[in-house]
Structure formats: C-alpha cells, structure tokens
Amino acid sequence: MSAKNHTAKDQTAKSHTAQSHADRHCQHTNSRGHRCRMLIDNAHSNSNGWKEENPKLCAYHLRKTSSAHPSDEAVAAELLGGIENFSSAASVNLFLGNLLKQVARRRIPRRDAVALAYISQLLLNSLPALERESEAEQDAAAGQFLINDIVRSRHARLAEQQSKETASADIVPGKPS
C-alpha cells in the first residue's frame, strides 16, 4: 500500500471525527464568528415543553434564545395595538413607532424590521391614490345627488304646471263653479 492511500484514510477518519465533534457541540456563533464550545443539552426541552429531537444549542444559549424571543402573537399585538387599518397616514405612523420600539428592545430582527418599514413606505405611497379614489367616489355620489335633485325638481314643476292647466281647464268662462 502506498502512503497516499494511508493519508486518505486518515483524512476520512479525521473528517468523521470532526463531524461527530461538531454534532455534539453547541451551534451558536457569536458576532465574531466564534462557535460556542459547550456540549449540546440533550435533556433540555424547547419553549413548548416538548423535548427536541435534534437539539443544536447548549443549555445556556437555549435558555437565552427562548427568553429573548417573545411569542409572535405578543409582538404582533404590540405592533398593531390601536391600529384598525392602514388607510391613513396616522395609522401607518403609529405602526412605524411601534416597530421602532420593538426593534429598540431587540424583539424583532433587523431584517424583519426593514421589510416591515418598506411595506409601510409602500402603504404611505398608496395613500394619495386612495384619497383620489375616495374623492372621485364622493364627487360621483354628489353628482348623482345633484342629477336626482334636478330631476325631482323638474318633475315637481311639471306636475305643478299640469295641475294649474287642469285647474284652468276646469274653470270655463261663463260657467259658474
């Protein structure tokens, strides 16, 4: 056997050992890119109380992530608190203020906050079109009201004129009434 075959077997064995070593250690990576050296906590359960089938974090980082991330429903309730709809600039502004508070508390990831802020910008940009549409509907309704009013008044005048004509036809000169 050659030395090449022997080194290939050693590298394969080392890669399997490194792989199993990585599988047993916490997968958390800090801001510098360094991995946690603690062993995975197989006995710890997730936030639902169920044991995880494939845990990837040590007890410390698992606790830290579960306490740092509140439920989605709670965050959504705080974001949308007091907002009925997004049809006014005031409601979008209120949402953006709530979003800023959540980002400052680190309850919403930055990428999600950027996406929500962009959607809010789109909503704000669509508000003038909604206002024009609303004004057009109001103008159409006012125009229809004016047309109906004119038609009613014309019918009333015609009816009055017809009643006068019938009243004058009933009064014939020389006949006592």
Indicate whether 81 and 127 sit together in one domain.
Answer: yes
pLDDT of residue 14: 54
Indicate whether 62 and 116 sit together in one domain.
Answer: no
Indicate whether 76 and 134 sit together in one domain.
Answer: yes
Indicate whether 108 and 124 sit together in one domain.
Answer: yes
Tell me the two tokens of residue 59.
């007890």
Query: 47, 66 in Cβ contact below 8 A?
Result: yes
Indicate whether 97 and 120 sit together in one domain.
Answer: yes
C-alpha–C-alpha distance, residues 145 and 134, integer Å: 16
Backbone phi, psi, residue 47, to 5°: -65, -20
Whole-number Cα distances in Å, 57 to 26, 38, 65, 160: 4, 8, 10, 90
Indicate whether 35 and 60 sit together in one domain.
Answer: yes
C-alpha–C-alpha distance, residues 155 and 61, integer Å: 82
pLDDT interval class at 113 (50, 70, 90): very high
Strand, helix or coil at 29?
strand
Does residue 25 register a pLDDT over 90? no
Domain contains 122: yes
Domain contains 172: no
C-alpha–C-alpha distance, residues 167 and 177, integer Å: 12
Domain contains 34: yes
Indicate whether 33 and 64 sit together in one domain.
Answer: yes
Number of domains in the chain: 2
pLDDT interval class at 10 (50, 70, 90): low
Indicate whether 74 and 121 sit together in one domain.
Answer: yes
Tell me the mean pLDDT in the region 4-14.
56
pLDDT of residue 12: 54
pLDDT tens for 47-79 read: 444 445 557 888 888 777 766 556 788 888 888
Domain span at residue 48 reads: 23-68
Tell me the two tokens of residue 60.
């410390």
Give me the percent of the chain exceeding a pLDDT of 70. 72
Tell me the mean pLDDT in the region 75-101.
90
Indicate whether 35 and 76 sit together in one domain.
Answer: no
pLDDT interval class at 103 (50, 70, 90): very high
Domain contains 59: yes
pLDDT interval class at 95 (50, 70, 90): very high
Domain contains 9: no
